[in-house]
């Protein structure tokens, strides 16, 4: 395991070319002391929209471990070059000319960024013409140099002490051909790197989908919460308004009930006063009748007959008056009962009050008519009495 890690670290250091890749500049600039404000100036929509695979913390750890094991301090340019390598989707020998040209643009962007010069957007969807159309003559020359370096980069070449250290470490002193060792090491590294990056890319995409789903669910939950809050607020306002209306209706009903009770009390008092007047009138009539009886005691048989008829009429009147008084008492009791049931049957009480008023009006009219009749009968009886007295006196005088 340690031997494989050492091999990967040394091969990653080999991929050190004067080039860069702007897609990964924002990710590693802060790790190596870069200026993040400057990095923001070189962000491009073409790079942000489409990135083949992200550089995760695993890649950063890999770079740091490589620096520790090799003892080589990685600069900002070194890290950018390594990310250009990590972005490759296929082996160098399988890349066409356009892909190599785009790789050269990325390497040039890395170099230009470190040197503080303008960079050029170049995504997989863009053509090489779109990537290089804004370059001036000097940049165009630098681009061709980078293109040659990119082509040379893809050739399996290892030189110097690093090659010798790899030979000694892996083969343990056994002599192998230089080309085969390089080819095997490069194939192993690229296979492992591509497999690792693809797995990281799948994991990142899954995480993004999960985050999008979480955001969608949270937005739905927020909409539901807002709708529920609005519904509760409207319901509370409606209930408050209904309660106020009920209080107003209750207060109005109480005022109406009190007014009706006062009217009933006034009508009862009026009935009592009317009853007293009727009693006095009856007493007066009875007194007059007694006086009339004393006057007609000495009359003739006809006067007695008239007196008997008058007495009969008076008894009938008295009976009717008694019935009227009983009806008045019954009406009073009925009014009292209606007053007690008023709260339950308001409409029925009003109807009963109308009937009582009509009955009282009828009684008053009847009593008035009865009084007029009694007075008329009294006057008639008195006139007849005086006429009989005159006739009697005249008869006595003739005798």
Transcribe 158-216 into DSSP letters: --HHHHHHHHHHHHTT----HHHHHHHHHHHHHHHHHHHHHHHHHHHHHHHHHHHHHHH
Domain parsing of the chain, residue ranges:
2-155, 244-398
Spatial separation of the C-alpha atoms in residues 12 and 33, rounded to whole Å: 21
**Who's near 364: CB < 8 A, 6+ residues apart?**
274
Average pLDDT over residues 151-168: 46
User: Would you state the pLDDT for residue 252?
Assistant: 87
Spatial separation of the C-alpha atoms in residues 191 and 199, rounded to whole Å: 12
Q: What is the pLDDT of residues 52-94, one digit of tens each?
A: 333 444 455 655 665 665 555 667 777 776 777 667 766 666 7
Counting every residue written for the chain, the total comes to 399
What Rg, from alpha-carbon coordinates, does the chain have? 63
Is residue 35 left, alpha or beta, with left meaning phi > 0 and alpha meaning psi from -120 to 50? Answer: beta
Centre a 10 Å sphere on the Cβ of residue 26 and count the other Cβ atoms it contains: 17
Distance linking the first and last C-alpha atoms of the chain: 179
- Name the maximum alpha-carbon separation found in the chain: 200
Average pLDDT over residues 111-135: 88
Is there a contact between 92 and 154 (Cβ–Cβ < 8 Å)?
A: yes
More confident residue, 321 or 234: 234
Would you tell me the crossing angle of helices 76-87 and 57-70 to the nearest 10 degrees?
120
Centre a 10 Å sphere on the Cβ of residue 118 and count the other Cβ atoms it contains: 13
pLDDT at 322 over 50: yes
pLDDT at 133 over 80: yes
Spatial separation of the C-alpha atoms in residues 181 and 158, rounded to whole Å: 9
Q: What is the pLDDT of residues 350-392, one digit of tens each?
A: 777 788 788 888 888 888 888 888 888 888 877 777 777 667 6
């Amino acid at each position: 395991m340690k031997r494989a890690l050492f091999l990967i670290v040394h091969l990653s250091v080999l991929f050190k070319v004067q080039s860069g890749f702007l897609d990964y500049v924002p990710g590693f600039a802060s790790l190596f002391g870069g200026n993040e404000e400057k990095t923001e100036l070189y962000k491009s929509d073409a790079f942000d929209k489409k990135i083949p695979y992200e550089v995760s913390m695993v890649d950063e750890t890999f770079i740091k471990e490589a620096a520790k094991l090799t003892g080589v301090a990685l600069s900002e340019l070194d890290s950018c070059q390594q990310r250009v390598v990590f972005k490759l989707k296929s082996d160098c020998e399988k890349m066409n000319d356009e892909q190599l040209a785009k790789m050269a643009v990325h390497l040039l962007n890395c170099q230009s960024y470190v040197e503080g010069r303008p960079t050029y957007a170049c995504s997989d969807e863009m053509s090489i013409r779109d990537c290089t159309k804004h370059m001036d003559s000097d940049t165009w020359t630098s681009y061709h140099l980078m293109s040659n370096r990119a082509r040379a980069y893809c050739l399996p070449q290892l030189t110097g002490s690093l090659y010798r250290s790899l030979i000694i470490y892996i083969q343990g002193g056994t002599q192998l051909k230089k080309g085969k060792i390089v080819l095997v090491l490069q194939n192993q590294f690229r296979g492992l790197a591509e497999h690792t990056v693809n797995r990281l890319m799948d994991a990142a995409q899954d995480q993004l989908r999960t985050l999008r789903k979480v955001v969608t669910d949270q937005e739905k939950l927020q909409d539901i919460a807002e709708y529920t809050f609005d519904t509760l607020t409207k319901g509370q306002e409606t209930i408050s308004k209904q309660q106020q209306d009920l209080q107003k209706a209750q207060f109005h009903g109480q005022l109406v009930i009190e007014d009706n009770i006062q009217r009933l009390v006034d009508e009862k008092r009026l009935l009592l006063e009317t009853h007293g007047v009727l009693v006095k009138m009856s007493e007066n009539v009875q007194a007059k009748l007694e006086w009339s009886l004393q006057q007609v005691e000495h009359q003739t048989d006809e006067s007695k007959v008239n007196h008997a008829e008058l007495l009969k009429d008076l008894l009938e009147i008295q009976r009717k008056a008694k019935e009227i008084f009983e009806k008045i008492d019954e009406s009073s009791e009925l009014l009292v009962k209606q007053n007690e049931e008023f709260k339950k049957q308001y409409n029925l009480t009003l109807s009963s009050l109308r009937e009582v008023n009509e009955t009282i009006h009828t009684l008053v009219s009847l009593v008035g008519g009865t009084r007029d009749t009694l007075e008329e009968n009294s006057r008639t009886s008195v006139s007849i009495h005086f006429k009989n007295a005159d006739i009697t006196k005249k008869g006595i005088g003739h005798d």
